[in-house]
Structure 1
Amino acid sequence: MREIKILAILIIVIGTIYWGVEPLAHSVMHPKVAPADFNFEDLKAIDLSKADVQKGKELTMNNCAGCHGIKNAGMEAPMDAESAASSFGVVPLDLSSAGAIFDEKYLANFIADPVKAAILEHKFKVSCEGLDDANAKECEKSNEGKADYPMSAFKGVLSESEIADIVAYLKSIASKDLSDKEVFMNACQRCHSMKYDGVMAATPDENLKNYLGTKAPDLSMMIRSKGENYLDIFINNPQKELVGTPMPRVGVTQAAQKQIIQYIEQVGDSSKNERNALGIKIMIFFVVLSVLAYAWKRKIWKDLH
C-alpha cells in the first residue's frame, strides 16, 4: 500500500510539472501568436474570372522576363546566378511554378507592391504611388534611410486587370504534381540551403548578407530546433514569431507550405515515425514490467505484510 501512495505522489508532482509549470514557462518564453492565415486577409482580393491568359503572357514577357526565367515557356534566366546575385542581392525566382506554389491573391499583391505583400516595410521602401499629397509625403518620410527592394512595384504601372492577366498566365503554365523537394527548391532555395540533402542556396552568402543584413540559415535541422507549429506560422508570416526579421512573407499556399515542412522534416528528422512507434512500444513494455514487478514483490514479500 505504501508503494501505491508513493506512486500517487510521484504522479501528482510530475503531472503538475508537465501540465502546469512547463506550459507556463513555455508561454512566457514563446507567447501565443495568431495561427497561419492562408486567406491573406490583409491583402486585396483578386478576380481572375475575366483574366486573359494570352494577354497575361505578353505582359509577363514585357515586364517580368527581363529579370526572371520561365523554363516552362522555354525561357532561361537572362542572367547567370552569380551576376543576378551581385545585381539584385538575391537570385530572381524562375516563374515556372509560381502560379502553383504561391497563393494567387498574394501573387497579385506582390506584383503590385512587393514590399507590402512581403511585410518588409521596416526594411525596404514602399510604393507611394497613387496616394494623395498628405499620405504621399508621409509615405516618402517613412522611406527615408531604407533600401530599395530589388523588385519594382508595378502598382501604377499595370492596372489591376493586367496584373490579374499575369497571375492567370502564371497559373496556366505552372508545373503540376511537384514533389516536396521541388516545392522547397522553388520557394526557399534562393536563400536557404539544405546541406544534409545536398541542396545549396542559389544565392551566395555574401550577397545575402548585403541584401538581408544577415546570412540565411541552413534549414537541415530546423524542424528539430523550432518544431512544425513554429515553422507553420513563421513561413506564413515571419513577423508574428520574430518581429523585425528580414525574412519575407513567402506567400505560398497551404498545400505548398505543408510540402515544404514535410521536406524539412524528411531531411532533418527522417526517423520520426520510427521513433514514435518505438516510444509506444517502450511505454507498453514498462507498463507490463511494472505489473510483473509488483506481482513478484507481492509474492516474495507477502509474508511480511
Structure 2
Amino acid sequence: MRELKILVVVVALTLITYWGVEPFAHTQMHPHVEPVNYNFAEADKITSKDTVEETKAALEEAEKSGDAKAIHPAKTEYEAAVSFEKTINDFWASNEEPMNLTGNAENGAVLVQSNCTACHSIKSQGFPQIMDDASSAAAYGVVPPDLSTAGKLYSKEYLVGFIKEPTLASKVSHKFVDGKVHPMPGYGWMQPQEIADMVAYLKSIAPKEMTNKEVFQNACQRCHSIKYGDMQKGTMTAHTPVENIKAYMGKVPPDLSQYIKSRGAQYLHEFVNDPQKHLAGTAMPRVGLTQEAEKQVVSYMEEVGDSKKAQREELGPKFLIYLVIFAIFAWLWKASKWREVH
C-alpha cells in the first residue's frame, strides 16, 4: 500500500508539472500571438486594428491618471497607430487591381529586365550578378536576391505588394524613417497592368520544384548562416558580409543551425510569417513566403538541427514500454524479498 501511495504522489507531481508548470512557463516565454496567416492583407488589417485598440486603451489609462507626461507620448502613439492603420489598409486595397488582372509574361520580361537587372540577377535567364556579394552589400546594405525563384517562393499578392512598396509589404516601414531609404525603390508609379505583367513573368520562369535546401538558400541565406548541425547537409555562410548586415539590420542576424531546437517549429512558422508578432520593432522583414515554401524552410532547419527527430520519436514509445515492464519486474522482485523479511 505504501508503494501505491508513493506512485500516486509521483504521478500527481508529474502531471502538475507537465500540464500546469510547463505550459505556464511556455506562455511566459512565448506569449500567444495571432495564428499564422498567409493572406497578408487580412493579417495586416487585424494587427493594425489591434494596435489601434491597444494604444487607445493606453491613452485612456494615461488620461485617467492625469499625468501630463504620460498623456503626450500615449496620444502620439495612438495617432501614429490610427494613421498607419489607414496607410496599410489603403495600400493593400490599391493592390487589388493588379492582383485581379491577367498578366502578360512577355511584356513582363521586358519590364523586369529593364527595371530590375541593374540590381538583381536572374541567373536562370542568363542575367548574372552585376557585382560580387561584398560589393553589392556595400552598395545596398544587403545582397539583392536572385529573382529566378521568386515566382515559386512568393505569392502573387506578396509580389504585387513588394513591387509597389517594399517597406509596407515586408512590414519594415518603421525602420526607414528620418530620411532612411529602403535599398529597393517602390514601383507604385507603374500602371496596374505593368505590375501584373512583371509578376506573371516571375511566375513563368520559376522552377516547378525546389528542394528544402534550395528554398532555404534563396529565402534566408542572404542574411543567415548555417554553421553547425548535421554536417552531411553541409554548411553555408550568409551572402551579406557581417559588417554590412550589422549596419543594415542593427545587429548580426543569428546563425540558424539550432533554432529548430531552441525555438521549435511552431514559433519558427509564426516568426517567418510575421516577425513583428514575436519581436515588435525588429528589423527583420516579413519574408512573404507561401505556406509551402515556409514549410520547406522549417523542414530544412529540422533536417540540419534535429536530424535524429524521427528516430527519437520512434524510440520513445518503445522506451516507455520498456520502463513499464521493468517497473513491473522491479515491483515483483521487491515484493518477493520483503515477503521473506516479514
TM-score if structure 1 supplies the norm length?
A: 0.89
Identical residues among aligned pairs (%): 48
Deviations 1:70-110 (A, max 9, x none): 11111112222121111000111100000001121011100
The answer to whether the 8 Å contact 1:48/1:168 transfers is: no
C-alpha distance in 2 between matches for 1:17 and 1:221: 26
Query: Residue 175 of structure 1: CA displacement?
Result: 1.5
Instruction: Report what 1:179 is aligned to.
Output: 211
In the other structure, the counterpart of 2:258 is: 221
Determine which of 116, 133, 149 is the counterpart of 1:97: 149
1:35-114 to 2 correspondence within 5 Å?
A: 35-40=35-40, 41=42, 42=44, 43=92, 44-45=95-96, 46-47=98-99, 50-114=102-166
Q: How far has the Cα of 1:217 moved from its partner? A: 1.2
User: What displacement does 1:16 show?
Assistant: 1.1
| CA shift in 2, pair 1:159/1:49, >3 Å | closer
- Mapped partners of 1:256, 1:23: distance in 2: 30
**Alignment match, 1:151:** 184
Map of 2:328 onto structure 1: 291
The answer for unaligned runs of 5 or more in structure 2 is 45-91, 229-233
**Larger relative helix fraction:** 2
In the TM superposition, what is the alpha-carbon distance from 1:48 to its structure 2 partner? 5.3
Q: Superposed, which structure 2 residues align to 1:1-305 within 5 Å?
A: 1-40=1-40, 41=42, 42=44, 43=92, 44-45=95-96, 46-47=98-99, 50-124=102-176, 143=177, 145-156=178-189, 158-196=190-228, 197-302=234-339
**SS in structure 2 at match of 1:96:** coil
Q: Distance in 2 between the 1:22 and 1:165 partners?
A: 51
Is the contact between residue 122 and residue 147 of structure 2 (CA under 8 Å) also seen in structure 1? yes
Displacement of 1:146 after TM fit? 4.9
2: distance between equivalents of 1:147 and 1:279?
53
Partner Cα separation in structure 2 for residue 13 and residue 107 of structure 1? 52
Q: SS state of the match for residue 25, structure 2?
A: helix
Report the number of matched residues: 285
User: 1-side partners of 2:101 and 2:332: how far apart?
Assistant: 73
Alpha carbon RMSD of aligned pairs, Å?
Answer: 1.5
Other-structure match for 1:128? none
Moved more, 254-263 or 289-298: 289-298
Higher relative contact order (CA 8 A, sep 6+): 1
Q: Distance in 2 between matches of 1:30 and 1:252?
A: 22
**Secondary structure of the structure 1 residue equivalent to 2:287:** coil
SS in 2 for 1:195: coil
Letter aligned with residue 288 of structure 1: I
